[in-house]
Amino acid sequence: MAEKRMVTVPPRARSMSSFVMTSVVAFPSDPRIVQNTQDNSCSFALHAQGSEPTRFSTPGFPDSPYPSQARCQWTLRGDADSVLSLTFRSFDVSTCDEHGSDLVMVYDTLSPVEPRAVVQLCGTYPPSYNLTFLSSQNVLLITLVTSTKRRHPGFEAVFFQLPRMSSCGGYLRAAQGTFNSPYYPGHYPPNINCTWHIEVPSNKNVKVRFKAFFLQEPNVPVGSCTKDYVEINGEKYCGKRSQFVASSRSNKITVHFHSDQSYTDTGFLAEFLSFDARDPCPGSFMCNTGRCIRKELRCDGWADCTDYSDELDCKCNATYQFTCRDKFCKPLFWVCDSVRDCEDGSDEEGCSCPPNAFKCDNGKCLPQSQQCDRKDDCGDGSDEAKCQDVKVVTCTKHTYRCLNGLCVDKSNPQYCGRRSFTRQSRVVGGENSDQGEWPWQVSLHALGQGHLCGASLISPSWMVSAAHCFIDDRGFRYSEPSVWRAYLGLHDQSKRSAPGVQERGLQRIITHPFFNDFTYDYDIALLQLDRPVEYSATIRPICLPAADHTFPTGKAIWVTGWGHTQEAGQGAMILQKGEIRVINQTTCEHLLPQQITPRMICGDSGGPLSSPEADGRMFQAGVVSWGEGCAQRNKPGVYTRLPVFRDWIKEQIGV
């Protein structure tokens, strides 16, 4: 509300003056930002030193945690006609929750008002996460409000000034090209409008393919596009979208980008292409979205088009596909895996549970060990119905006996299988992992040959790998520990000397005595480091499953590694990840006849297996062993089943 009021200013120094306040504008503020705190002295004013980065951080960073019950603020200024670029290089505050977690806010003004908020941050971010933000003018305000007594180091940030953009968008005249939102992959600034006028040769049509698209804003309904958006052909696009295509019926198209005054995102990366309207995808299949895919991906049971148009009107191949009632084709090894892949659920009808399994009311099958474990594994609660209040744990060599004689399962250390970072980057154009996302992943290099195998850290001195990595050939003794180097905390193969990476040699290699280098049965090895590693944010052990643990059919698990990303391809530089499912053993034996043993587990791609279990901790489900080709559909990857070897691991190294 605005009002007119005369205000008299008391005399100061040698003058007396008065002024008229013609209006007052009120904005809402987050109550956590303006709450009363015990310490309001944490306030800093900084001015940009040209294009040279200026560093600032929370009090005590990184050696001591920031204070609790405090309010800190940093006012950042630049020269007139400049804008500011702010980057958080390290960010670690308490986890985001509804119980009043610590909170960092960035504002595109010097007042903490909600309509000018750029971003709200909490939790822990990996170094690979993009935390670069741009202002619309020459000021920014950063606030930190703390309420918890958890010990976190806080953040370190840098900022610098750069000239304000004189224009945005423009004319693009070519057969093809690329363009992106301002400052991509950094966050685009508030209050900006860009228009691209694209023109290809007159005898062609033009289409725009968005390879990355992130225009998300808090509390904005999906599809409403009332704030930040891209507009093409009169249609607005916003939110987070997978790759999509917009096309024109002529050789011209106009793309308009708008951001309002609050909450920005990383924006978009796009390319424009000319095409012949009579044959828009030469030698390929065109999705209804306009995207072109290889013809062999049509009707293969996998949705390669985001709109499923490549799987419509198909005739399923009964040899390796199941026909849903709605006529969609699905891989045969997804039948009766307790996951509804057909929209009508027909792939899970008439299924019986194997022996020693519990059948949920919804038809899902679970290992009996997951019944009455105080966790809704069925999804309908039926596995936790009719249970005793306390589940008695039988005392075995894998449990810990308390003073009262009762036993608890303590077969793994408390810190195993946990990540340091609570936030993960959004994957664009691949399956790159974040730094520290898989802190137990190890890269094994053979002398003069670079990365050859992966391994998993299970203790400060021991790792698990595959026995087939250490088979001697005519020219090299891979069984000799001295020819190997292990890199822990590694994310990028080209940065083996980066801070946080620890290099170790091998002191001992223990391959399973029953390993068969023809069938790859018993394909497991234990590796002792020449000296223990120091645990850190990027180096931690994975948990080992108990000998009787079961990874049920249909369970989603993760594969990681630097292996080939495609058949006959080159190894990846950045650690790769992919989500797969455990395949029914009978189905796996059908797909790979006379090749599967009880010590093997099947997944539908290749790589080492990490399985999320209770409390969010990761357990190692298997060790990469073999597969027919690289990530071939309907040719599952095969892994050494780790629970089978739990006792052997304990006997060999005491872990």
pLDDT in tens, 129-156: 889 999 999 999 999 998 867 778 999 9
Report pLDDT for 596.
45
Compare 640 and 43 and report the one with higher pLDDT.
43
Region at 652 (left for phi over 0; alpha for psi -120 to 50; beta for the rest): alpha
Whole-number mean pLDDT of the chain?
81
Residue 39 annotated as catalytic: no
Sheet with 229-232, edge to edge strand ranges? 169-173, 192-199, 252-259, 229-232, 235-237
Give the span between the Cα atoms of 588 and 590, in whole angstroms: 5
Give yes or no for residue 614 having a pLDDT over 70.
no
Question: Which tokens in the block code for residue 642?
Answer: 């780790």
* Lowest mean pLDDT segment, chosen from 121-130, 304-313, 466-475: 304-313
Model confidence over 169-203: pLDDT tens digits? 999 999 999 999 999 999 999 999 999 999 999 99
Q: What does the pLDDT read at residue 388?
A: 60
Give the mean pLDDT of 622-634: 56
Range in 157-166, 270-279, 364-373 with the lowest mean pLDDT? 364-373
Consecutive H or E run containing 205: strand 205-215
Cα separation, 470 vs 472, whole angstroms:
6
Q: Please tell me which residue, 595 or 416, carries the higher pLDDT value.
A: 416
CB 463 within 8 A of CB 442: yes
Q: Give the ranges where 172-215 is alpha helix by DSSP (H).
A: none
Distance CA 141, CA 131 (A): 15
Identify residue 64 by its one-letter amino acid code: S
In whole angstroms, what is the distance from residue 642 CA to residue 557 CA? Answer: 14
In this predicted structure, what is the pLDDT of residue 79? 95
The pLDDT value given to residue 626: 55
pLDDT band per the 50, 70, 90 thresholds, residue 3: very low
Q: Hey, what are 80's tokens?
A: 């007139």
Which of 230-234, 422-426, 545-549, 592-596 shows the lowest per-residue confidence on average (mean pLDDT)?
592-596
pLDDT for position 413: 58
What angle (nearest 5°) sits at the alpha carbon of residue 31, between those of residues 1 and 151? 160
Most confidently predicted of 198-212, 317-331, 590-604: 198-212
Residues 172-191, buried b or exposed e (16+ Cβ, 10 A)? beeeeeebbbbbbebbbbbe
Catalytic option among 300, 523, 604, 610: 523
Evaluate if residue 497 carries a pLDDT over 70.
Answer: yes
CB 476 within 8 A of CB 493: no
443-455: average pLDDT: 90
Is residue 82 annotated as part of the catalytic site, yes or no? Answer: no
Kindly report, residue by residue over 266-284, the tens digit of the pLDDT. Answer: 999 999 999 998 888 888 8
- 3-state DSSP call for residue 492? strand
Check pLDDT > 50 for residue 481.
Answer: yes
Q: State the average pLDDT over residues 287-294.
A: 82
Q: Is the pLDDT of residue 22 over 80?
A: no
pLDDT at 606: 37
Domains delineated in the chain = 31-163 (2.60.120.290), 169-275 (2.60.120.290), 352-379 (no CATH), 437-529 (2.40.10.10), 555-653 (2.40.10.10)
Catalytic residue among 468, 491, 512, 549: 468
Per the annotation, the verdict on 523 as an active-site residue is: yes
Residue 390: the pLDDT is 45
Q: Residue 644's Cα: distance from chain center in Å?
A: 30
